[in-house]
């Protein structure tokens, strides 16, 4: 009885009845009985800011670990497969092409689908691969040869394939490889690598970017077909053989910047064809000085560079440099981007003994072109 009375006394003392016989809310010690709406909102805002700052980092760390694990797993599978292929004598010297090599390779790796180089998009998870700079994208269907993976000397096509865990790969094989290490590169102990690969370790999931879920093995990819100095250039010559109309009423008028383009050879404009073709690939025709710079390089004249309007005689092209740029030196003329008055555009020739400049009528179908990056 005494204990019960003591308990009631404590309750009445700590929580006295309010007016009307109701007991008040617990006093929190701040001179009031609950949080205000403003305080709740401020607290939620702070939680939101902290979450915004930490959750992306947590997700990135998780993704990086997942990608690394997937890459390590793929590397392990590949090393085991190629080691056994070496033991069986089918790693080197047995195939003349990537297609031939794949017939051996898929016996050692569980390949569920293969695609020829003109159907790569049917095997690879995504249409585009983002390069490491995060600014440019390379279309997977364009990676049809070993040279597009940075192996210009291999002279083989690529193939696409998918393995059982969903990893998708574009691969090129080097028929002249002599290395037990499939990824050793030329210049390392005299060995030449056997395979070049573009690997997506998580299939269709993003971000499809080199350095993240995309792995390169003995390979490079770029929107450049090839490079000259700091510019991308197209891999081969273009020869416009069909003219377009660039007169004032034509939708192609924008491709003609001559001073009198409305009425001088605008109906039969081959120069505009070259300009449009480059623009369609987000490139442009080179300036005359850029063509002169190419001539300086091909004729090895760095000590006395060729200038914009300069004819240079008694010079011999360096065959290796000409081959490197796939540039003709048999007297071919190349369009520049610069108009020549009202009738034509400036050009430069590359010959076995000289390089000269001139102005050609836009109605001429004899001039070739190369595209340069913007």
Tell me if 312 sits within 8 A of 355, measured CB to CB: yes
Is the residue at 147 inside a domain? yes
**Count of alpha carbons within 13 angstroms of residue 165, beta-carbon side:** 11
For residues 69-84, average pLDDT? 85
Among the ranges 12-21, 51-60, 107-116, 183-192, which has the highest mean pLDDT value? 107-116
- Domain carrying residue 173: 65-223
Assigned token pair, 350: 């590359």
Looking at the structure, tell me whether residues 192 and 275 fall in a common domain.
no
Looking at the structure, tell me whether residues 214 and 79 fall in a common domain.
yes
User: Distance between CA atoms of 373 and 227, rounded to whole angstroms?
Assistant: 9
**Total number of domains in the chain:** 2
Is the residue at 27 inside a domain? no
Say yes or no to pLDDT of 133 above 90: no
> Which tens digit of pLDDT belongs to each residue from 319-346?
999 988 989 999 999 999 999 988 999 9
Residue with tokens 């390779």: 105
> Which tens digit of pLDDT belongs to each residue from 261-273?
676 899 999 999 9
Tell me if 335 sits within 8 A of 290, measured CB to CB: no
Q: How far is CA 172 from CA 113, 160, 199, 228, 250, in A?
A: 16, 9, 12, 25, 45
Among the ranges 200-204, 222-226, 296-300, which has the highest mean pLDDT value? 296-300
pLDDT value for 191: 39
If one counts every other C-beta atom within 10 angstroms of the C-beta of residue 36, the result is 9
At residue 235 the predicted structure's pLDDT band, cuts being 50, 70 and 90, is confident
Of 136-150, 163-177, 350-364, the range with the lowest mean pLDDT is: 136-150
Average pLDDT of the chain?
82
Final residue of a domain: which of 165, 197, 223? 223
At residue 7 the predicted structure's pLDDT band, cuts being 50, 70 and 90, is very low
pLDDT value for 172: 94
Please list, residue by residue across 67-87, b when 16 or more beta carbons sit within 10 angstroms of its beta carbon and e when fewer do. Answer: beebbeebeebbeebbeebbe
pLDDT value for 185: 46
At residue 182 the predicted structure's pLDDT band, cuts being 50, 70 and 90, is low
For residues 179-189, average pLDDT? 49
Say yes or no to pLDDT of 32 above 70: no
Picking from 246, 248, 249, the residue whose alpha carbon sits closest to that of residue 265 is 246
pLDDT value for 22: 52
Looking at the structure, tell me whether residues 178 and 245 fall in a common domain.
no
Looking at the structure, tell me whether residues 77 and 217 fall in a common domain.
yes
Distance of CA 57 to the CA centre of its chain: 25
User: Distance between CA atoms of 72 and 64, rounded to whole angstroms?
Assistant: 12
Looking at the structure, tell me whether residues 188 and 287 fall in a common domain.
no
User: Distance between CA atoms of 245 and 254, rounded to whole angstroms?
Assistant: 11
Is the residue at 133 inside a domain? yes
**27 or 191: which leads in pLDDT:** 27
Final residue of a domain: which of 170, 191, 223? 223
**Under 8 Å CB-to-CB from 268, ≥6 apart: which residues?**
243, 245, 362, 363
Say yes or no to pLDDT of 113 above 70: yes
pLDDT value for 134: 56
DSSP state of 360: E
Looking at the structure, tell me whether residues 71 and 217 fall in a common domain.
yes
| Start-to-end CA span in the chain (Å) | 96
Picking from 231, 41, 200, the residue whose alpha carbon sits closest to that of residue 130 is 200
Looking at the structure, tell me whether residues 260 and 291 fall in a common domain.
yes
Say yes or no to pLDDT of 180 above 70: no
Of 13-22, 34-43, 202-211, 212-221, the range with the lowest mean pLDDT is: 13-22
Is the residue at 312 inside a domain? yes
User: Distance between CA atoms of 173 and 116, rounded to whole angstroms?
Assistant: 13
Assigned token pair, 302: 């760095």
pLDDT value for 142: 87
Say yes or no to pLDDT of 23 above 80: no
Assigned token pair, 262: 């409305």
Tell me if 325 sits within 8 A of 228, measured CB to CB: yes
Edge to edge, what strands does the sheet with 283-284 contain?
A: 226-228, 231-233, 372-373, 283-284
> Which tens digit of pLDDT belongs to each residue from 298-312?
999 999 999 999 999
At residue 63 the predicted structure's pLDDT band, cuts being 50, 70 and 90, is confident
Name the 3-class secondary structure at 372: strand
Assigned token pair, 338: 């610069």
pLDDT value for 115: 93
Looking at the structure, tell me whether residues 218 and 69 fall in a common domain.
yes
Say yes or no to pLDDT of 170 above 60: yes
Say yes or no to pLDDT of 15 above 60: no
């Amino acid at each position: 009885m005494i204990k019960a009375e003591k308990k009631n006394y404590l309750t009445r003392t700590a929580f006295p009845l309010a007016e009307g016989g109701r007991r008040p809310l617990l006093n929190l010690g701040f001179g009031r009985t609950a949080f205000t709406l403003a305080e709740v909102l401020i607290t939620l805002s702070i939680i939101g800011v902290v979450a915004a700052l930490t959750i992306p980092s947590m997700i990135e760390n998780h993704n990086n670990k997942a990608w690394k694990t997937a890459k390590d797993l793929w590397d392990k599978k590949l090393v085991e497969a190629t080691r056994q292929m070496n033991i069986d004598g089918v790693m080197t010297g047995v195939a003349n092409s990537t297609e031939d090599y794949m017939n051996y390779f898929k016996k050692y790796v569980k390949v569920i689908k293969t695609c020829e180089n003109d159907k790569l998009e049917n095997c690879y998870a995504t249409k585009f691969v983002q390069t490491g700079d995060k600014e440019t994208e390379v279309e997977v269907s364009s990676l049809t040869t070993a040279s597009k993976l940075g192996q210009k000397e291999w002279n083989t096509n690529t193939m696409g394939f998918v393995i059982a865990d969903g990893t998708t790969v574009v691969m090129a094989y080097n028929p002249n490889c002599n290395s037990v290490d499939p990824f050793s590169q030329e210049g390392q102990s005299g060995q030449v690598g056997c395979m070049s690969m573009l690997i997506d370790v998580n299939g269709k999931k993003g971000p499809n970017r080199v350095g993240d879920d995309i792995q390169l093995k003995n390979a490079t990819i770029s929107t450049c077909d090839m490079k000259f100095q700091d510019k991308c250039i197209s891999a081969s010559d273009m020869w416009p053989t069909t003219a377009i109309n660039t007169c004032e009423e034509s939708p192609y008028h924008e491709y003609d910047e001559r001073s009198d383009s409305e009425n001088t050879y605008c109906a039969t404009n081959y120069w505009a064809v070259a300009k449009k073709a480059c623009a369609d690939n987000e490139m442009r025709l080179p300036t005359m000085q850029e063509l002169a710079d190419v001539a300086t390089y091909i004729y090895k004249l760095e000590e006395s560079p060729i200038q914009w309007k300069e004819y240079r005689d008694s010079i011999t092209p360096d065959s290796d440099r000409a081959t490197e740029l796939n540039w003709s030196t048999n007297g071919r003329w190349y369009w520049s981007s610069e108009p020549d008055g009202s009738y034509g555009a400036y050009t430069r020739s590359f010959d076995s003994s000289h390089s000269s400049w001139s102005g050609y009528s836009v109605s001429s179908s004899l001039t070739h072109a190369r595209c340069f990056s913007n």
